Structure 1
Amino acid sequence: MKFFLNVFCLTGLLSGFFMESVSAAPKAKQPNFIVIFCDNLGYGDIEPFGSTVNRTPCLNRMAREGRKFTHFCVTAGVCTPSRASIMTGCYSQRVGMHWNPRDGQVLRPISPYGLNPEEITVAEVLKKQGYTTGMIGKWHLGDQQPFLPTKQGFDYFYGIPYSDDMTQAVGKRIGDRLDGNRWPPLPVMLNDKVIKAGVDRNLLTKDYTEKAVEFIEQNKDHPFLLYFPQAMPGSTSKPFASEAFRGKSKSGPWGDSIEELDWSTGQLLDKLVELGIDENTLVIWTSDNGSPMAKDMNSTARGTNKPLNGRGYTTAEGAFRVPTIMWWPGTVPAGTVCNELATTMDLLPTFALLAGGTVPSDRIIDGHDIRPLIEGKSGAKTPYHVFYYYAMEQLQAVRKGPWKLFVPLKEFSRHPHFKKGEGSKPLLFNVETDISSEHSVAAQHPEIVKELMALAEKGRADLGDTNRPGVNQRSAGKIENPVPPTLNTTSTK
C-alpha cells in the first residue's frame, strides 16, 4: 500500500479594527488560488505534523516543496463558524454565524439562517479582479437559495450543502427537533440545483477530486479560485473512503479517509505541474477545526490533535490550531516553517492584494495581509496584536504573542480546562514553550494577565459576549419558510 500511495506523488512531482482600503501592484500574472479545507482533521493527523500512523506521502512532498505553518488558527472549534471566517475574513461573531436560536452553533438542514448575502466573500473579491471562482465540497453556510455558493460569488458549485452526518436517517432519529422529520436524503448539488438525492459517502473524496481536476483543466488559461472543502474525515465516528483506501491504514476508517485525502492532494499538485501552472498557483492545505478525538485520548481512532491540548469543538489549542501547508513553487520558500500566528481570516485580504485588488473598506475585516509570512520574508512577524477564542457567544480565551489567557468564567457549557464548579481563576499558558498547555503561569505573570484581561474587555465590547451584544456585530441572513433541498424543490428564492 505504501508503494501504491507513493505512485501518485512521484510525478515531480483578534478582533481587528477598521482597515484602510489598501492595494498592491499586481504581479505580471495574477496567481491562481486553491484552498483545500479538510473537515475535523487534527493537528497530529498527518506526517508533516507528527503522525506515525497515517501515511501521507503527498503532504510530505507538499511540505518539502512548500512551507509549514505551525501556529495557523481557525476561529471556531466547529465547522459553520469556521467556514464563515474563511469566506469573509471576519470572526464568525462579526458576521452573525457563531450561533442562532434554531440551530445552535452549526447550521442544520432546512435552517432559515445562512451567511448574509450582504457580506463580501473572498470569491466576490476575486471575481472583481476577473477570476473564475469554483467551489467543490462541503458548504455549510446555508442550504437555502439566497445563501448558496452561487449567490455568494462562486461561478460553480458541486457538492453537499452541509455535513456528511446530516442524513435523512439521522433526521428521522431526532424526530421533530430541528425539523428532523423533514430532513431530505443527503443532497448533491450542482450550482443551485439538487442533482442527486442520497449519496455514497465512500465515493465523496474520489468524486470531488475528479471534479477538482476537471475545474483546474478547464480554467488553466486564466486566473481562478478553487475552494475545495473536503467532506472527510467528517463528522461521523467512522469516516468514509473509496475501495482503494478502505481498510488499508493503521488507524481504521479515520486513517483510511486521511490517506485518501493525501492522494487527492497529490492529484491536484500533479495536475498543476502537468499543465505548467504550478509556479503561478498558491495551494493552501488546512482543516476547519481540530479532530474530536476518541474517549481514550491516546487513541487515533477519531484523530488526534497532539501534541496540542484538547479536543475539537472547544476553545483548546487542539481545536483552533490546525495543520497548514502552503505550496507555491518559486514563491513560497521550500522546506521552511513559519511559527508566527496567522489565521483563515487572512486569506481574503491576502488573496485580494495578490490579485491586484483591494481589501473592502466599508466594513470591519478582521484578517490581515500575510504575504510576508507566506513568502518567508526575513523578520516577518504576525500581524495580530490580539486573537480571540470564542465558544459560540462566550469569549473564553485571548492570545497575544506566545501568551494565551483563559479568562475567569462563572458559567460555561463546555471548556477545555475548567470543570464544573471551576473557572474563578484565570489560566495563562505560553503556547510556544508549553505546547501542550499543561502549566498555567498566571501566578508568576500577573502583569500579563492584567494586560490580556484588558484586551478581553475590548473584544467583548467589539464582538460581544454572553448576554452582551458587541457594538460592531453584523447579522446573519434569514429567510421565511425554508424548504428541504430535494430533486423537486431546491429551496426558496
Structure 2
Amino acid sequence: MNKPNIILINCDDLGYGDLGCYGSKLNDTPNIDKLSEEGIKFTNFYMASPVCSPSRAAMLTGCYPPRISFGSFDDNRNVLFPGSPTGLNPNEITIANQVKSAGYNTKIIGKWHCGDQKEFLPTNYGFDSYYGIPYSNDMGRSVIPEDGSGGSFGPIDEETRSRREKFPPLPLISDNEVIQEQPDQAGITERYVEESIKFIRKNKKQPFFLYLAHMYVHLPLYAPERFINNSRNGRYGAAVSGIDWSTAMILDELKKLDLDENTLIIFTSDNGSNTRNNGSNAPLRGKKQETYEGGQRVPMIMKWPKKIPANSTSDELVSSIDFFRTISSILGIKIDNKNKIDSLDFSNVMYSPINSKSPRETFFYYKQNNLEAVRNKKWKLHQQKDGKKVSELYNLENDISEKNNVYEKYPEIVLELQKLLDECAKELGDEFSDIQGTDIRLPGKVENPSTLTSFDPNSPYYAPMYDIPDWG
C-alpha cells in the first residue's frame, strides 16, 4: 500500500454552525462544503476540552487532558500563557512521533499552544519543522481601552488587565527561532498557506504529515480587506472565508501535483465558538469554555478518494483523541506507548460509514480537571457546572440542543451514567469531588521559564500595539 499523505487542518474556535455544510447561512464556505461532498462529515465529533491548550495536547497524544496533567495550568489557568514553566511532557508520544516512525516527513504550521519554552516547542515532539505563532494571537501587545472594555468581551477585571498589559510582543517562529515580533495578523493565513505549499512541494515524492493549525477564528479578528469587503458576516465571516480560501489553495496544490488521491485530509476545530461576533454553534447549547455540546462538539470532515465514500455522513460518536489510534491503524504502525492512552480506532467508520459502528460508546467532558459530564450512546448526564452540582440528563438523539432535562424521568439511566462518571473519576480524577486520579502523568516543567520575546521600544515593529481590543 502506498502510504497516504496526511493533512490535519485544525481551526481555532470555529463553531459547529459556522460552515455551510453544517447549516450556516451567514458564512460562505464553498470549498469546505465541497470537501464535505467529496468525503465524510461527522455530526457527533468531540474535542476533548472546550479550550485550546488541553484540546490540542489531547488530540496529539490520544489522551483525555487530565491523564497527561493538561487540564489546568499555573495558578489554575485554563490555558497556557507566554512564559509558562509548564508544557507537554516530552516523554509523551504524539501523532507526529507515530508517523515519523513510519518514514514520514512532518511539519506543523500555525498554533502550537502546548508550551513556549525551548524544551516544549514542536520539534521536540516528532515534528521536523515548525512555522507559526506558538500560542493564541490575542497574547501579544494590544491596546486596552481606558474604560476597561474588551471589544466583544465587555469590561475586564483588574487581574485580566494587569496580565494583558504585561504580554510580550507576539512571536512568529521558524523552527525554534523567532523571525518576527508583532506581525501583521491580516497576512498570517496567507503566510501559513505559502509555507504549507512549500512543504507539500518539497515532499511530493515521499509521505508527509502536515498539521495546519489556523489562527482563525480566534480573536482578535484581523482579515485581508478582500475578505472583509465580500463578507456577509463582518470580520468573523471574513476570517471564515480565509480558512475556506486556504483550504482551496491546498486542495488545488494536491491536485496539480497528482497527490490528491493519496492524501487523507482531516478538517476540524479545537473547540466550539465563543458565539461573539456572530460565531455559531447552532443548533447546540453552550459555547467555548463550557461542557454543553456547543463547547466541544465541532465540525469534522475527512476526505480520502477511493477509500472514504464521497458525500457520506456519520452520526457515530468519535473524538479527536481517537485520531492517534486511527491513524496508526491506517498506516499499520504498532503502538509501543507504554503509557495508557484513551484513543480508539474508528477507521471502520471512515471506510464504511453506513454499515459500521464506532468503537466509542462513552465520552467524558472535562472542564479543566473537573469531570462535569458523560455521554454514553444517546444519553448525556451533567453532574456539575463551574463548581456547582447539577442534575441534568438529556437524550441527545432527539434533543441535540439540551433543552429538555429528563433527569427525574429516567433514574435507571442516571444510575448507569453516574457509575461511569465514578469509574472515570477514580482513574483520571475530579477536582470538584476532591478525587485524585490513579493513572495520571506529570506535565513537563522547567525551573527558570522565560518569554520568547521582550519589548524593545526601539524596535521597528509592524504593529507596536494591535489596535483591535478583543480577546478570549
Counterpart of 1:439 in structure 2 is 404
Counterpart of 1:63 in structure 2 is 36
Counterpart of 2:177 in structure 1 is 193
| Contact 1:103–1:178, Cα closer than 8 Å, also in 2 | no
Distance in 1 between the 2:425 and 2:249 partners? 44
Distance in 1 between the 2:278 and 2:137 partners? 15
SS at match of 1:428: strand
Counterpart of 1:454 in structure 2 is 419
Deviation at 1:361, TM superposition (A): 4.0
Deviations 1:53-104 (A, max 9, x none): 1111101110111110000100111000000111101011111111023361
Distance in 2 between the 1:176 and 1:234 partners? 18
Deviation at 1:386, TM superposition (A): 1.7
Q: How does 1:110-125 map to 2 (within 5 A)?
A: 110-125=83-98
- Asked whether 1:427 is paired with 2:392, we answer yes
Distance in 1 between the 2:160 and 2:298 partners? 35
* Letter aligned with residue 214 of structure 2: Q
Counterpart of 2:436 in structure 1 is 469
Counterpart of 2:465 in structure 1 is none
* Letter aligned with residue 417 of structure 2: L
Counterpart of 2:263 in structure 1 is 281
* Letter aligned with residue 210 of structure 2: L
* Letter aligned with residue 74 of structure 2: P
Deviations 1:236-285 (A, max 9, x none): 3xx12112212321111111100111011011111111111111110011
Counterpart of 1:90 in structure 2 is 63
Deviations 1:296-320 (A, max 9, x none): xxxxx24010101111111010111
Counterpart of 2:312 in structure 1 is 336
User: Structure 2: which 5+ residue stretches go unaligned?
Assistant: 149-157, 457-472
Deviation at 1:337, TM superposition (A): 0.1
Counterpart pick for 2:254 among 258, 268, 272: 272
Q: How does 1:395-406 map to 2 (within 5 A)?
A: 395-406=371-382
* Letter aligned with residue 267 of structure 1: M
Distance in 2 between the 1:175 and 1:428 partners? 36
Distance in 2 between the 1:454 and 1:400 partners? 11
Counterpart of 1:3 in structure 2 is none
SS at match of 2:214: strand
Flag the 1:176–1:49 CA change in 2: closer, same or farther, 3 A.
closer
Flag the 1:61–1:176 CA change in 2: closer, same or farther, 3 A.
closer
Deviation at 1:446, TM superposition (A): 1.1
Greater mean deviation of Cα atoms: 434-443 or 43-52: 434-443
SS at match of 2:89: coil
Distance in 2 between the 1:247 and 1:460 partners? 50
Counterpart pick for 1:387 among 360, 363, 379: 363
- Asked whether 1:73 is paired with 2:46, we answer yes
Deviation at 1:168, TM superposition (A): 2.3
Superposition misfits of 4+ residues, deviation over 6 angstroms:
170-179
Q: State the TM-score, normalizing by the size of structure 2.
A: 0.90
Deviation at 1:365, TM superposition (A): 1.0
* Letter aligned with residue 40 of structure 2: R
Counterpart pick for 2:298 among 322, 328, 338: 322
Distance in 1 between the 2:144 and 2:179 partners? 21
Distance in 1 between the 2:11 and 2:247 partners? 11
| Contact 2:72–2:369, Cα closer than 8 Å, also in 1 | yes
Deviation at 1:131, TM superposition (A): 0.5
* Letter aligned with residue 319 of structure 1: G
Counterpart of 2:152 in structure 1 is none
Please give the root-mean-square deviation of Cα atoms over the aligned residues, in Å.
2.0
Q: State the TM-score, normalizing by the size of structure 1.
A: 0.86
Counterpart of 1:18 in structure 2 is none
| Contact 1:117–1:147, Cα closer than 8 Å, also in 2 | yes
Flag the 1:255–1:177 CA change in 2: closer, same or farther, 3 A.
closer
Distance in 1 between the 2:70 and 2:316 partners? 27
Deviation at 1:356, TM superposition (A): 2.1
- Asked whether 1:310 is paired with 2:286, we answer yes
* Letter aligned with residue 486 of structure 1: T
Counterpart of 1:162 in structure 2 is 135
Distance in 1 between the 2:143 and 2:123 partners? 27
Counterpart of 2:470 in structure 1 is none
Counterpart of 1:152 in structure 2 is 125
* Letter aligned with residue 254 of structure 1: Y
Counterpart of 2:466 in structure 1 is none
Flag the 1:176–1:429 CA change in 2: closer, same or farther, 3 A.
closer
Flag the 1:175–1:316 CA change in 2: closer, same or farther, 3 A.
closer
SS at match of 1:437: coil
Greater mean deviation of Cα atoms: 436-445 or 89-98: 436-445
SS at match of 1:367: coil
| Contact 2:59–2:324, Cα closer than 8 Å, also in 1 | yes
Deviation at 1:480, TM superposition (A): 1.1
Distance in 2 between the 1:70 and 1:29 partners? 30
Q: Number of paired residues?
A: 443
- Asked whether 1:248 is paired with 2:230, we answer yes
Distance in 1 between the 2:144 and 2:12 partners? 21
Greater mean deviation of Cα atoms: 100-109 or 464-473: 100-109
Deviation at 1:484, TM superposition (A): 1.4
